[in-house]
Amino acid sequence: MPYDPILRAAKVESIVMSGNKRRYHRFRAAPYYGGIVTADALGCNLLCAYCWNYFRNLHPNQRGKLYSPKEVAENLIHIAKKKGFHLYRITGSEPILGEASLNHFIDVHRLVMTGDPECRFVLETNGLMLGWHPNFCERLPKEGLMVRVALKGIDEKSFEKITDAKGEFFKYQLAAIEMLQRCGIDVWCALMGDLFDDSEISSLKELLKKEGITSDLELEYLEKYPYVIEMLSKKKILIKRDRPYNYEK
């Protein structure tokens, strides 16, 4: 049966957060966006069929360790100085699961900005909690922040098939983008384009337009790990585009 991703968010947050510390499993430099410093956190309220981090997020208490915002910022800035980067992100999970993880992210962003005034921070999110709690969007910092909302389908049906979550929650992804725009935050949305044909992508663009969403739509590349292909096959989700595989994750 499909699950409630809001209830799952609360459960996962209770596992990966302790006070203002969050569980991470690594810090690294990555080639995306032309070069970015990355913190790989643990714990997500969705279980997407194509997730490259699926098994870590399925059992987030079995990996990594807890880090304070100060420790996260110090790790990121150390790597940034060695690489000459000024772009940062938290990825591999859902950064915003509730109040505790929101406060943790805000503190990490503030400390990174203090240590690197040229910082630009990419918040990679599925947006569900930002849409469910619109006041979360209002509390996000505007300076030096870019938000990338990864849409998990083009409609309720595809959202449910990909995530196993109730399809009715798809609308909160759209609500998050609309609210972020209203708050004046730099936002764009992304879609796993390999799973949809041109007509389906066009229908999503029409829906975004209808909802008053003016942000760009980025088409993601599928990470074709064997277990990803296996999960897609089990769910009878077709790969409709054949594009280069990026091995950098």
Structural domains of the chain sorted by starting position, each given as residue range(s) with its CATH number in brackets: 5-234 (3.20.20.70)
Global pTM reads: 0.93
Comparing CA positions, the residue from 142, 138, 79, 156 lying closest to residue 109 is 142
Give the pLDDT confidence of 109-147 residue by residue, as tens digits: 999 999 999 999 999 999 999 999 999 999 999 999 999
- pLDDT, residue 53, reads 83
Where are any strands of DSSP class E within the chain? 17-18, 21-30, 36-41, 65-67, 87-91, 120-125, 145-151, 186-191, 217-219
Cα–Cα distances in angstroms (integers) from residue 145 to residues 88, 100, 110, 123, in the given order:
10, 19, 10, 7
- With a cut of 70, list the residues of the chain below it in pLDDT: 243-249
- pLDDT, residue 244, reads 54
- pLDDT, residue 127, reads 98
CB 185 within 8 A of CB 145: yes
